[in-house]
Amino acid sequence: MSLNLYGKKKKSVVREYAEALLLALLLAFFIRTFLVQAFKIPSESMLSTLLVGDHLLASKFAYGITIPFTGIRIYQGEDPARGDIIIFEYPGDPSVDYIKRVIGVPGDVIAVRNKQLFRNGQAVKEDYIRFADPGQIEPKRDNFGPVTVPPGKYFVMGDNRDNSLDSRFWGFVDRKAIRAKAWRIYWSWDGPGDIRFGRLGRLIQ
């Protein structure tokens, strides 16, 4: 047994490393659970705002804090707003995370006519959207509604409107299923040797 200058027992190197590792794991769990989580963009549904291979940080704090596995909210946070890009549990499979843009909040009336979005009877100007088939009109995808967003629900769509499975096809997103608000891109590449340096640190909006 060894003593330090103050006569106290010295911790073994193994114990010191174990305690440091445990502290790091607890800190990482706290950050991931309550503050920030990393996500990777796997599909083209949010082009050109988000590209395949973008890695982003999302704020879990923005929309409130819930105790894991309980559904008990200890911090309310703000409600998602029109234009927010959110990460949520896909209604068809809650184990899968989706990312889309909020188009309608509770009470909004949403319709699409020949690719043009209408909200509460007014045409919405959307500078961020992309159309892969601008001259092709398809039912439901390009002509939809009107529908009224129910209380506690949200209507979401991808920015790549002709290549996005969203609320037009599978319905509304429940407020409780919204996990985080997309914040910043911390890494982006299109494979080894093709790092998109210009996107690193970009604010998502």
Predicted local distance difference test score (pLDDT) of residue 64: 75
| Nearest CA-CA partner of 171 in 194, 153, 158, 185 | 153
The length of the chain is: 205
- Residue 187 pLDDT exceeds 70: yes
Identify the residue with better confidence: 61 or 104. Answer: 104
45: annotated active-site residue:
yes
Q: Which entry of 8, 11, 45, 176 is annotated as an active-site residue?
A: 45
Average pLDDT of span 96-108: 97
Q: Which entry of 9, 12, 100, 176 is annotated as an active-site residue?
A: 100
- Residue 69 pLDDT exceeds 90: no
Is residue 168 helix, strand or coil? helix
Identify the residue with better confidence: 64 or 141. Answer: 141
- pLDDT, tens only, 107-118: 999 999 999 999
**Domain ranges in the chain?**
13-199
At 60, the pLDDT band (50, 70, 90 cuts) reads confident
What's this model's pTM, rounded to 2 decimal places? Answer: 0.81
Pick the CATH number of 13-199 from 2.60.120.460, 2.10.109.10, 3.40.50.720, 1.20.1510.10: 2.10.109.10
164: annotated active-site residue:
no
Mean pLDDT of the chain: 86
The DSSP-derived string for 140-188 is TTTEEEEEEPPTTEEEEE-SBGGG--SHHHH-PEEGGGEEEEEEEEEEE
Predicted local distance difference test score (pLDDT) of residue 12: 78
Average pLDDT of span 127-156: 93
- Residue 33 pLDDT exceeds 80: no
Do residues 103 and 119 make contact, with C-beta atoms less than 8 angstroms apart?
A: yes
At 29, the pLDDT band (50, 70, 90 cuts) reads low
How far, in Å, CA of 79 to CA of 63, rounded?
Answer: 6
| Nearest CA-CA partner of 105 in 86, 125, 92 | 86
The conformation of residue 13, written as its DSSP 8-state character, comes to: H
Average pLDDT of span 180-202: 91
